[in-house]
Amino acid sequence: MDFSRSVLDIDAEAEIIRISDFIRDIAHERYKRKGAVIGLSGGLDSAVIAELSVRALGEDKVLALFLPEKESNPVSLKYGQKQAQKLGIETIKVDISENLESLGAYENRDLVIKSIFPEFDKSYKFHVTLPQDLLEKDRLNYRSLTIEDLKGNRKKTRISASDWQKISACQNLKQRLRMIQQYYYAEKNNYIVSGTTNKTEILQGLFVKFGDGGVDIDPIAHLYKTQVLQLAKKLGVIPEIINRPPSPDTYSLPVTDKEFYLCLDYGLLDLLLYAYQEHVPIEQISSTLELKPEQIQRVFKDFKMKGHATWHMREMPPILDTQTKCPEV
């Protein structure tokens, strides 16, 4: 079996044409819609989707939404605006902080954090992380909460399943509210909502069900993150976005995708994920990536656990009567 460090290299130009054709076909032929709405987050994936959508539908048929909230990194908006300007597409900014306040997202979440760290208040920032020693040790995943005061002093502690579930439910409201706004503007304009989730995120469960997972089309869901990066370079996405460390951008204290959930850099993660999916022999992975077999086994166990924990997110809702379906369009 062919497995090398370049196994994920793609013909970016050909893939750009293929995906652009796909977007056009789905929007026009399948859904009979005129254009696409994209939540432009200032990150790599949405920038690539915006580029591809313009190629597919034309710059006057792509609407970029900026959907910041009070805990978003300010550079996200700045980079998103610059990328949109480069493409010449229409943009609308909708700050979702008030929506989140009305749902009690911040208040309910902060109550949980305060029950763990009584000193926590609005002056503090926080984030949640997984242990970062996946290659080094046999260990189970557990979440740690870190708070930081105005002077930069930090405290960190492991949190219980119950506390994580409450914090996560509040945090996921951010992605779900963005979905609501995207569908509002899409339906107003007779557009589709384009997703921005990539294959690495889907396989690992790094998305929110009916949040950033609630879309009409997922044009890069077949590509690993490192392949999306190849497209970004070919498409001419702005360098600030290309060079920016990937982040969920949902925590007031900045955290990368690696620290929050993935535990590995995308370069290595994608190769191991590919090898796991394609059942590449451990010995071959070991010699190609210069990792010990036990390190690879640890990562594969992590993939299996995350896959089990998130499988329901990749499924359509079950239907009792399998005859309940529309005729093929």
Partner 1 sequence: MDIKSKIRTFVVENFLFGKDAGLDEETSFLDEGIIDSTGILELVNFIEEEFHIKVEDEELIPENLDSIANVVKYLERKLGR
In angstroms, what is the minimal distance from the CB of 306 to partner 1? 8
In angstroms, what is the minimal distance from the CB of 45 to partner 1? 25
CB nearer to partner 1: pick between 123 and 162: 162
Query: Whole-angstrom Cα distance, residue 158 to residue 88?
Result: 46
In angstroms, what is the minimal distance from the CB of 167 to partner 1? 12
Token pair listed for 209: 């069900």
Instruction: Find the length of the chain.
Output: 329
Residues near 22 by Cβ (< 8 Å), separated by ≥ 6? 56, 219
- Selection from 242, 256, 101, 267 nearest residue 170 by Cα: 101
Q: Which helix (H) or strand (E) holds 64?
A: strand 62-66
CB nearer to partner 1: pick between 88 and 293: 293
Contact residues: partner 1, CB under 8 A: 131, 137-143, 158, 160-162, 164-165, 301, 304-306, 308-309
Query: Whole-angstrom Cα distance, residue 275 to residue 180?
Result: 36
CB nearer to partner 1: pick between 3 and 164: 164
| Residue carrying structure tokens 């970016």 | 12
In angstroms, what is the minimal distance from the CB of 312 to partner 1? 11
In angstroms, what is the minimal distance from the CB of 136 to partner 1? 12
CB nearer to partner 1: pick between 61 and 166: 166
Residues near 84 by Cβ (< 8 Å), separated by ≥ 6? 40, 50, 64, 91
Query: Whole-angstrom Cα distance, residue 129 to residue 255?
Result: 8
CB nearer to partner 1: pick between 288 and 310: 310
